Amino acid sequence: MTDDPRPPLWRQLQAVAQLLLDIRQGRSGTAALQAVAAPLRPGVQALGFDVLRNLGQAQALRQGLAPRLPPAPVDALLCVALALLSQPDAQSYDAFTLVNQAVEAAKRTRGVKPQAAFVNACLRRFLRERVALLARAELDAVACWNHPQWWIDRVQSDWPEQWQTILLSARAPAPMVLRVNARWGTPAAYVDALRQVGLDGAVVGAYGVMLGVPCPVGQLPGFQQGWVSVQDAGAQLAAPLLLSAFAPGQRPRVLDACAAPGGKTAHLLETSDAQVLALDVDPARCQRIHQNLARLQLQAKVLAADAADVSAWWDGVPFDAILLDAPCSASGIVRRHPDIAWLRRSGDIDALAVVQARLLTRLWPLLKPGGRLVYCTCSVFRTEGAQQIQAFLCNNTQVRMLPGPGHLLPVNSAPVCASQDNQPCVHDGFYYALLEKISA
């Protein structure tokens, strides 16, 4: 008999509690996960995502068990254990194992060890009074919807008919969607390639394939050769929308502002002969653009620069097309990054809207008359989408808004797929506006 290769559960719970502490202190989940030891990381990510998707309920349960807020490390471990205990059908561990291993984690964690008996008492009380405690927690909106109250209020105000579905969709794991490199072949051809290695996939939109079951990219046929990239179906709309005015063979001069990690840059180059300048303010993230383009055997000019500081990088030659994938709340991709809802604060949205407006104002003069700009955000908030563009239209006379997707919500009512048979929620939440510059 071979030993279980997985790290002990108490170590994983200990690391997930630290992950939650980091997020509560303002560190992104992605960065916090990178700090986790490699052997622990897959288990910590899986458990951590479950915890974050049920954190509102866990916090309400902890409040019911311990009204006085315990020290931060103790509270984090309690919330981790309660989030997992409250969803027994989603776990491969029975409740008593989870409690025992959470207590073991407490005994082995600095700053928590003196409170191990308290952790044990709280968790065992939850097992005894589970039904009553859950019923009480469900009376709280944050516990019910597992988002901060300000977030719930904003989504409800923006989308009075769809708000519940939007919040529910954010708690469900996202599908793994691939973008097929048009220079290699078609989505249908790639579905056949998947079948040959025992994987299932379905065509999504013009360039996408959705996997039946997510898998490591190393298992995907032709990934290292550049046949496919991982990209949400909603994000795959950007390049075709921007390039829709250009005939095959044309070489438009295109600016991809805020381009990292380079998925949309690559899609522009896979589907056209465009001359692309890709900007990103972070030099390290520019390296990601280079790496992605190298794998796909594509070329673009990549600069580390603040897109809004035009004088620092622009050569004075106007662009035929501009893609502005503006910094935003990322409220449309919470199902992929469940830390986002707990990282953001209410004031962040208005602050980000100021950045978005500044980028629009600075980049618009760089566009030729007759040229087109696509403004997009991965957000479900109207402040970062329709309201942002409405304000821009009111303040500019040389702009015409062309037909475009507008707000894409991760609900059944906003499909991006050609087939009616596609599963709902294939895409994340996005906003798209296509603007054309007209002569004065």
Residue 373 backbone class (left: φ over 0; alpha: ψ -120 to 50; beta: rest) = beta
Structure confidence at residue 237 (pLDDT): 97
| Cis peptide bond N-terminal to 261, omega within 30 | yes
pLDDT at site 413: 40
Could you tell me the strand order of the sheet in which 367-377 lies? Answer: 301-304, 275-280, 253-257, 319-325, 367-377, 430-437, 399-408
Task: Indicate the range of 114-123, 246-255, 295-304, 415-424 predicted with least confidence.
Answer: 415-424
Find the mean pLDDT for residues 227-242.
97
- The domain defined by 179-230 folds into Alpha-Beta Plaits (3.30.70)
* pTM score of the predicted model: 0.92
Q: Is 32 helix (H, G, I), strand (E, B) or coil?
A: helix
Q: In this predicted model, what pLDDT tens digit does every residue of 399-436 receive, in sequence order? A: 999 999 999 998 744 333 333 333 445 899 999 999 99
Burial grade of 26 (CB within 10 A; 0-12, 13-18, 19 or more)? exposed
Q: Domain 235-437: give its CATH superfamily.
A: Vaccinia Virus protein VP39 (3.40.50.150)
| Of 356 and 2, the one with more pLDDT | 356
Counting every residue written for the chain, the total comes to 440
Q: Do the beta carbons of residue 205 and residue 418 sit within 8 Å?
A: yes
Does this chain's domain 9-145 share its CATH topology with 235-437?
A: no
Catalytic residues: 378
Cα atoms found within 13 Å of the Cα of residue 350, Cβ hemisphere only: 3
- Residue among 78, 81, 80, 106 at smallest CA distance from 96: 81
Q: Give the CATH fold of the 9-145 domain.
A: N-utilizing Substance Protein B Homolog; Chain A (1.10.940)
Q: Domain locations in the chain?
A: 9-145, 179-230, 235-437
Write down the pLDDT at residue 4: 57
First to last CA, the chain: 79
**Structure-token pair, residue 165:** 């579905």
What whole-number distance in Å separates Cα of residue 124 and Cα of residue 15? Answer: 22
